[in-house]
């Protein structure tokens, strides 16, 4: 009898070890693929990737971050289709051009792969069968920015768009114009080249003295350049600067009174939450029933200093 009990006990232990090992292997096998339009070398998207990688570590899953070399919707659609062919537990996408990316996204949905969008594309979430969206609804955010600028007594906004065709950025300028009721807004298209951005801002300010605020759609790409141009031209008393998104340098400009505010959409959360949600869905079948707004919130002079350290760490 003792021998039998000993054998059963040993078998139970062995079964428990084997089961634990199987669970561990299963957890390690959960693979999530992220396809965004932003390269991980970009200051903003590096924060998104940081959030994804931390979520992968916290949830014990594998995350593969992919992006085209430039803002290229054809290449991005191909990356999404390649991800579908690998049958991951979930796919995270940004969706700056729903018309162009829609067919590839629909292939993922048709294959039964849960898709979460982040950063851009909230308006197409339900239509394309995307489970939910984590990000900032850009048009309402723009309206708030426009209202803020109007409340400060400003009259003419130069909205600098470094990625024309990106629906989210186009919506920011359009929303700002709507909220800036009674004032004037001019869209200045540029590329992401810092030298071009500075040259075009300077040319615009020189040719139109009525411009009294430069609004960047990216703090590291445009906001910092705008501050530099305004200082170089010696017009800081006449031309103010504000920007969407954060960077340590732009936040320092806000803290020093060289810029009005930064608009935080929390890119770290935009990376962290979709991975976490897809990991929970893969393990337990649980997922939020609605979209998660990550912004906007305003970082002004009195709060900028407290955010700088986290920004320099790639978190804010």
Do 147 and 250 belong together in one domain?
yes
Query: For the domain that residue 78 is a member of, what is the CATH number?
Result: 3.40.50.2300
What is the Cβ-side half-sphere exposure of residue 218, based on CA atoms within 13 angstroms?
24
Do 37 and 152 belong together in one domain?
no
Do 275 and 128 belong together in one domain?
yes
Provide the residue range defining the domain that includes 66: 26-136+266-285
> DSSP character for 116?
E
In a domain, 257, yes or no: yes
Distance CA 279, CA 60 (A): 8
List helix spans (H) across the chain: 2-29, 43-59, 73-85, 98-110, 138-151, 167-179, 194-207, 224-233, 248-255, 267-284, 301-312
* One pLDDT digit (tens) per residue for the chain, 316 residues: 444 444 444 444 444 444 443 444 444 589 999 999 999 888 899 999 999 999 999 999 999 999 999 999 999 999 999 999 999 999 999 999 999 999 999 999 999 999 999 999 999 999 999 999 999 999 999 999 999 999 999 999 999 999 988 999 999 999 999 999 999 999 999 999 999 999 999 999 999 999 999 999 999 999 999 999 999 999 999 999 999 999 999 999 999 999 999 999 999 999 999 999 999 999 999 999 999 999 999 999 999 999 998 988 899 9
CA-based nearest residue to 115, from 75, 83, 78, 69: 83
Work out whether strand 132-135 and strand 240-244 pair parallel, antiparallel, or are unpaired: unpaired
Do 145 and 237 belong together in one domain?
yes
Do 240 and 157 belong together in one domain?
yes
- The pLDDT assigned to 29 comes to 83
- The pLDDT assigned to 5 comes to 46
- The pLDDT assigned to 25 comes to 41
Instruction: Say how many C-beta atoms besides its own lie within 10 A of residue 45's C-beta.
Output: 21
In a domain, 296, yes or no: no
In a domain, 152, yes or no: yes
Do 186 and 279 belong together in one domain?
no
Do 50 and 196 belong together in one domain?
no
- Total domains, the chain: 2
Distance CA 62, CA 265 (A): 25
- 3-state DSSP assignment of residue 35: strand
- The pLDDT assigned to 22 comes to 41
Distance CA 246, CA 243 (A): 8
Do 249 and 148 belong together in one domain?
yes
> DSSP character for 127?
T
Q: Among all chains, which residue has been given the structure tokens 């949600």?
A: 277
In a domain, 258, yes or no: yes
In a domain, 130, yes or no: yes
Q: Using an 8 Å Cβ cutoff, are 220 and 249 in contact?
A: yes
Do 142 and 104 belong together in one domain?
no
Verdict on whether the full-model pTM lies above 0.85: no
Instruction: Say how many C-beta atoms besides its own lie within 10 A of residue 12's C-beta.
Output: 10
What is the Cβ-side half-sphere exposure of residue 107, based on CA atoms within 13 angstroms?
14
Work out whether strand 62-66 and strand 132-135 pair parallel, antiparallel, or are unpaired: unpaired
CA angle 275, 276, 277 (to 5 degrees): 90
Do 130 and 145 belong together in one domain?
no
Structure tokens of 128?
A: 């394309």
Q: Among all chains, which residue has been given the structure tokens 């992919």?
A: 66
- The pLDDT assigned to 312 comes to 85
Do 155 and 58 belong together in one domain?
no
Q: What is the DSSP string of 243-298?
A: EES--HHHHHHHHTTSS--EEE--HHHHHHHHHHHHHHHHHHS---SS-EE---EE
- The pLDDT assigned to 28 comes to 52
Do 179 and 246 belong together in one domain?
yes
Torsion sign across C-alpha atoms 16, 17, 19, 24: positive
């Amino acid at each position: 009898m003792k021998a039998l009990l000993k054998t059963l006990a040993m078998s139970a232990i062995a079964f428990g070890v084997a089961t634990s090992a199987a669970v561990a292997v299963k957890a390690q096998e959960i693979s999530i693929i992220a396809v965004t339009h932003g390269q991980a070398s970009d200051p903003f998207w590096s924060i998104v990737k940081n959030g994804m990688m931390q979520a992968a570590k916290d949830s014990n899953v594998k995350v593969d971050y992919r992006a085209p070399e430039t803002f290229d919707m054809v290449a991005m659609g191909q990356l999404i289709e390649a991800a579908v062919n690998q049958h991951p537990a979930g796919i995270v996408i940004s969706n700056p051009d729903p018309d162009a990316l829609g067919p590839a996204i629909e292939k993922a949905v048709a294959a039964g792969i849960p898709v979460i969008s982040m950063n851009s594309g909230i308006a197409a979430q339900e239509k394309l069968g995307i489970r939910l969206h984590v990000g900032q609804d850009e048009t309402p955010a723009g309206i708030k920015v426009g209202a803020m600028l109007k409340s400060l007594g400003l009259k003419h906004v130069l909205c600098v768009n470094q990625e024309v065709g990106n629906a989210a950025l186009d919506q920011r300028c359009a929303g700002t114009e709507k909220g800036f009721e009674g004032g004037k807004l001019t869209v200045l298209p540029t590329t992401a080249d810092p030298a071009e951005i500075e040259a075009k801002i300077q040319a615009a300010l020189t040719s139109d003295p009525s411009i009294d605020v430069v609004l960047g759609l990216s703090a590291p790409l445009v906001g910092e350049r705008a501050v530099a141009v305004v200082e170089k031209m010696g017009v800081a008393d006449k031309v103010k600067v504000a920007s969407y998104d954060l960077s340590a340098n732009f936040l320092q400009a806000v803290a020093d009174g060289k810029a009005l505010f930064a608009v935080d959409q929390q890119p770290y959360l935009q990376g962290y939450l979709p991975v976490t949600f897809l990991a929970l869905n893969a393990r337990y079948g649980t997922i939020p029933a609605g979209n998660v707004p990550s912004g906007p919130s305003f970082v002004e002079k009195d709060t900028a200093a407290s955010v700088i350290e986290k920004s320099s760490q790639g978190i804010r």
